[in-house]
A and B are shown apart, each in its own frame.
Chain A
Amino acid sequence: MMGNLFPNFITISIIVISMLIFSTFTLIAFNLTNLLKIWEDKIEIIAYLKQGTSSREVEPLLNITRLLEGVEVVRYVSPYDAMDFMATKLGRQKSLLEGIQPALLPPSFEIQLKKDYRNSTKIKEVVAHLEKIRQFEEIQYGQEWVETFSVLVHILRLTQWILGGLLLIGIVFITSNTLQLTISSRREEIEVMHWVGASPGFIRIPFYVEGLLQGLFGGGLAILFLFLLHQGFFLYIPPSMQAWMEKIPVLFLPPETIAWILLGGMVLGFFGSFVASMRVLKYK
């Protein structure tokens, strides 16, 4: 049995490394998706009114805007509110605003959207409706960064699955080869089993179970290492980044994703041993 330790160690190590690479990408994609969701929650549209829009027109315009599909809340920001907002943002440098008349600032509507509309595709539908209203001069919703970030997350997800697919093929190939080492280390026993008429299932099932357990163990170790890396990440954040990082939660994988990764490891281990057994456990 000691002879099986080395091939077992090699097989589990390969599964750990492969699953760790895949899990790391999953974790990065998970956190970026999470970040995108947080930002999407903050997505709102600012519709600037044309200069000269009378205060009488504001109330009916508010009602029209509120009735648009996807709109949740609309708030009117008068030039004075805008001035106060800018003063707050500038803080100690608010003296820069001295001499500027509030009337110079355009009044606007801050439009919050329903949850389903807080994404780069649906927001455009609301903007298209708003653009048809002639009293609006300009409509902003930070479209560039929303779209760029969405594309980034999409690419990352795509990379995750392409890499996952390649790793999957690689893992099956490597585990089946390393499991062949395990099988070879027991070839004498297998040959005698063949000789005395052991059924193929009797011979193969222990190897399938071994593959499943190796996959489970390898997947579990990969999750453990990823967890340690995740924890270590916070220990070594430079102080300059710490304040910035406080606003961005870096989460660990949720339990269901961990369960999928463990299951994936088991399936890979099983499939590797299945391929290996097809190649070297033929009755002869």
Chain B
Amino acid sequence: MNEAIIEMDHVSKTYPSQISALSDITLEILPGEFTFIAGPSGSGKTTLLRVLCCAERPTSGEVVVYGMHITDPGFKKIYQLRRTMGIVSQDFKLLRDRTVNENVAFALEVTGHTRKEAKRKASDMLSRVGLEEREEDPILALSAGEQQRVAIARALVNSPPLILADEPTGNLDAKMTLDIMGTLTDLHQKGTTILFATQFTGLVKRYSYRVIRILDGQILNGRKVDSTQVPEVKPGE
């Protein structure tokens, strides 16, 4: 029996302005699942992912990721949590004064890899996202779509067991979206757990993965799953 790697139990998040971003969210993610978190803009997808990587503290409820009770007031090892996950955010978070390769290699260097090793691994990963020709270019010379791919490469380069991707294909054209989805599917088939937040229902329909629909901070089709259940696939929802 597989134990969930992510457990959210009655999690709510209300901002000081009394805006409720998440309301009583309860869900479980099993290891190796590819899960779409689908919902329109402002529905709470980003907040949900930010809670999972400890960038936001929920107002109430409990969150456990890889056995770490990240909502405990005494939880300090955020960096250990983040090392278990590759994060792709909407705003890319790239270093503007560095090259494409340096941006990807940076994720390896700060987690203990040598510069040479980091550069080589970054180079390999950039080939996988189709940026091998732009490795030495400054980041600002890239289009938004290319920057998105650099951010994806950086999230994947450490081979994390969990990927939190917030609209990772939002700035990509159809072909590049399919390429990136292909890369993520490869990783999923090798056992990586993927949480993919998107507002594009067309993309969700195309793949037979579990879908969690979210609206106004509430899960519409939420349920707890256990390892005996095959993730429900509702393409087109």
Contacts and interface: CB of A to CB of B under 8 A. Distances in A.
B111 A198 contact: yes
Contacts of A284: 55
A200 B79 contact: yes
B82 A192 contact: no
A189 B83 CA distance: 17
A232 interface: no
Given A188-B95, A283-B79, A196 B107 contact: yes
A201 to B, nearest CB: 9
Interface string A187-221: 01101111111111010000000000000000000
Interface residues of B, number: 21
A10 B95 CA distance: 25
5 contacts: A191-B93, A192-B93, A192-B95, A198-B110, A200-B79
Given A195-B87, A196-B82, A202 B110 contact: yes
Interface of A: 188-189, 191-200, 202, 283-284
B158 interface: yes
Nearest to A1: B97
Highest count of chain B CB atoms <10 Å: which of A194, A196, A200:
A196
Contacts of B78: 194, 283
A284 B54 CA distance: 7
A195 B82 contact: yes
A198 B81 CA distance: 11
Nearest to B53: A195
B228 interface: no
Contacts of B95: 188-189, 192
A193 B111 CA distance: 9
The 10 closest A-B pairs by CB, nearest first: A197-B82, A198-B110, A197-B83, A196-B107, A283-B78, A197-B79, A199-B79, A193-B110, A192-B93, A195-B93
Nearest to B96: A188
B80 interface: yes
B106 interface: yes
A198 B93 contact: no
A256 B111 CA distance: 42
Nearest to A189: B95
B13 interface: no
A189 B102 CA distance: 12
Contacts of B94: 192
A62 to B, nearest CB: 79
Interface in B97-144: 106-107, 110-111
A80 B87 CA distance: 101
A195 B14 CA distance: 23
A191 to B, nearest CB: 6
Contacts of A283: 54, 76, 78-79
Highest count of chain A CB atoms <10 Å: which of B79, B87, B106, B158:
B79
A202 B80 CA distance: 13
Interface string B64-93: 000000000000101111110001010001
Contacts of B76: 283
A192 B87 contact: no
A191 B94 CA distance: 10
Contacts of B83: 197
A196 B109 CA distance: 10
B225 to A, nearest CB: 28
A192 B106 contact: yes
Contacts of A189: 95
A196 B110 contact: yes
B152 to A, nearest CB: 13
A189 to B, nearest CB: 6
B154 interface: yes
